[in-house]
Amino acid sequence: MRKFLFAIAICAVPAASVWAQQAQPAQAALRALTYPTSAGNVKLTPVAHASLVIEAGGKVIYVDPAPPGNFAGLPPADLILVTDIHGDHMNAATITAVSKAGTQVFAPPAVVQTVTTASPVANGETKTWDRFTIEAVPAYNLTRGPQPGQLFHTKGRGNGYVLTFGGARFYFSGDTEAVPEMRALRNIDVAFVCMNLPYTMTAEEAADAVKAFKPKIVVPYHHRGTDLALFMKGLQGTGQDVRYLDWYPGS
């Protein structure tokens, strides 16, 4: 059973000596993050790693349905958002498995080359779908790559997304470093921010980016192998509301 890790208010931690024990707090029964908006609640449920399900306004939206997620028993998608071409974000078979008649897919043009049923959404574009607004935010590496002169994620290829519903704004970073476009975001209610090496950024870099754009709530995701205590330490004294979901059930 997937589980939800309770929120931790950074400003409430009394001393650095407790970072390690509070980085991975005791788990409780399965819960999703539910956020109220003027149009009703938005429910965000982790599946695994970078995959999640959003339920709002009678619609079901998937972000990056791909392995290693287990999607059995989950509701079919009305809309699917894909961020990048890598296998932990884009998987044509999984997209088919969670789709139904009429499911729409939005993805970067590089993804559309493989998932040909998807509608292309390039960096900086905005789409309106049902009662939702979807903004494509650039997601890319600044310095990290497989070898000198190459980057794991080139600028213009991948998208993060800002999803607006009922006046609330939800950001999903995709695979990225702390790029200027992320740091310039404003009025974000809930931010899902990646962190893992060597592909994206360190926990400290992610914390520094969060301090720049100041979401009301931040959720670390796509963080396998990352010491989340360092993320918390980087936000110490800011009062930032950090929520932890279990992205790696069974681990």
Average pLDDT over residues 115-120: 97
Asked if the structure places residue 106 within a domain, the reply is yes
What is the count of structural domains for the chain?
Answer: 1
| pLDDT tens-digit map of 163-213 | 999 999 999 999 999 999 999 999 999 999 999 999 999 999 999 999 999
Worst-scoring range by mean pLDDT, 25-34, 44-53, 180-189? 25-34
Range of the domain at 169: 4-245
Judge whether residue 35 has pLDDT over 50. yes
Confidence of residue 149 (pLDDT cuts 50, 70, 90): very high
| 116 CB-near residues (< 8 Å, 6+ apart) | none
Asked if the structure places residue 125 within a domain, the reply is yes
Considering the entire predicted model, what is its pTM? 0.88
If you average pLDDT over every residue of the chain, what do you get?
A: 89
Confidence of residue 249 (pLDDT cuts 50, 70, 90): confident
Asked if the structure places residue 150 within a domain, the reply is yes
Structure tokens at 59: 């619609």
Distances (CA, A) of 236 to 15, 201, 231, 240: 9, 19, 9, 8
Q: DSSP characters for 43-76? A: EEEEEETTEEEEEETTEEEEE---TT---TTPPP
Asked if the structure places residue 250 within a domain, the reply is no
Tell which phi-psi region holds residue 163, choosing left (phi > 0), alpha (psi between -120 and 50) or beta: beta
pLDDT at res. 190: 98
Asked if the structure places residue 251 within a domain, the reply is no
